[in-house]
Amino acid sequence: MLFRLTFLAATLALGTSFGSPAAAEDAICYNCPPEWANWGKMLDQVRDKLGISIPGDNKNSGQAVAQLIAERQSPVADIAYLGINAGISAAAQGLVQPFRPERFDEIPAGLRDADARWWAVHQGTLGFFVNVDALNGAPVPACWADLEKPAYNGLVGYLDPTSAAVGYVSAVAANLALGGTLEDFSPAIDYFGKLTENGAIVAKQTSYARTVSGELPILLDYDFNAYRAKYTENGTFEFVIPCEGTVSFPYVMTLVEGAPHAEAAKTVLNYLLSDEGQLFWTTAYLRPAIPVEMPKDVADRFLPASEYARAKDVDWAKAQAAQAAFSERYLAEVR
Mind listing the domains of the chain with CATH numbers? 29-123+249-299 (3.40.190.10), 124-247+312-333 (3.40.190.10)
Predicted local confidence at residue 240, as pLDDT: 98
Q: How many C-beta neighbours within 10 Å does residue 256 have?
A: 27
CA nearest neighbour of 37 among 253, 228, 307, 271: 228
User: Which ranges of the chain does DSSP label H, i.e. alpha helix?
Assistant: 39-50, 61-70, 84-92, 165-177, 186-197, 208-213, 223-232, 262-272, 275-283, 296-299, 305-308, 316-333
Predicted local confidence at residue 205, as pLDDT: 82
User: Which ranges of 72-153 does DSSP label H, i.e. alpha helix?
Assistant: 84-92
One-letter amino acid at 219 equals L
Predicted local confidence at residue 20, as pLDDT: 36
CA nearest neighbour of 281 among 75, 3, 1, 58: 3
Q: Do 120 and 107 meet the contact criterion of CB atoms below 8 Å apart?
A: yes
Q: Do 256 and 42 meet the contact criterion of CB atoms below 8 Å apart?
A: no
Bridge partners of 130, per DSSP, are 218, 238
Dist. CA 54–CA 43, nearest whole Å: 6
Q: At what angle do helices 84-92 and 61-70 cross, to 10 degrees?
A: 20
CA nearest neighbour of 87 among 118, 124, 121: 118
Dist. CA 143–CA 107, nearest whole Å: 33
Predicted local confidence at residue 16, as pLDDT: 36
Annotate 231-248 with three-state secondary structure: HHCCCCEEEECCCCCEEE
Predicted local confidence at residue 78, as pLDDT: 98
CA nearest neighbour of 72 among 90, 54, 99: 90
Predicted local confidence at residue 68, as pLDDT: 98
Q: At what angle do helices 39-50 and 275-283 cross, to 10 degrees?
A: 150
**Counts for the chain of helices (H) and strands (E), in that order:** 12, 11
Q: How many CA atoms lie within 13 A of 8 on its CB side?
A: 7
Question: Residue-wise pLDDT tens for the chain (335 aa)?
Answer: 333 333 333 323 333 334 433 335 699 999 999 988 899 999 999 999 999 999 999 999 999 999 999 999 999 999 999 999 999 999 999 999 999 999 999 999 889 999 999 999 999 999 999 999 999 999 999 999 999 999 999 999 999 999 999 999 999 999 999 999 999 999 999 999 999 999 999 998 889 999 999 999 999 999 999 999 999 999 999 999 999 999 999 999 999 999 999 999 999 999 999 999 999 999 899 999 998 888 899 999 999 999 999 999 899 999 999 999 999 999 999 98
Dist. CA 44–CA 216, nearest whole Å: 28
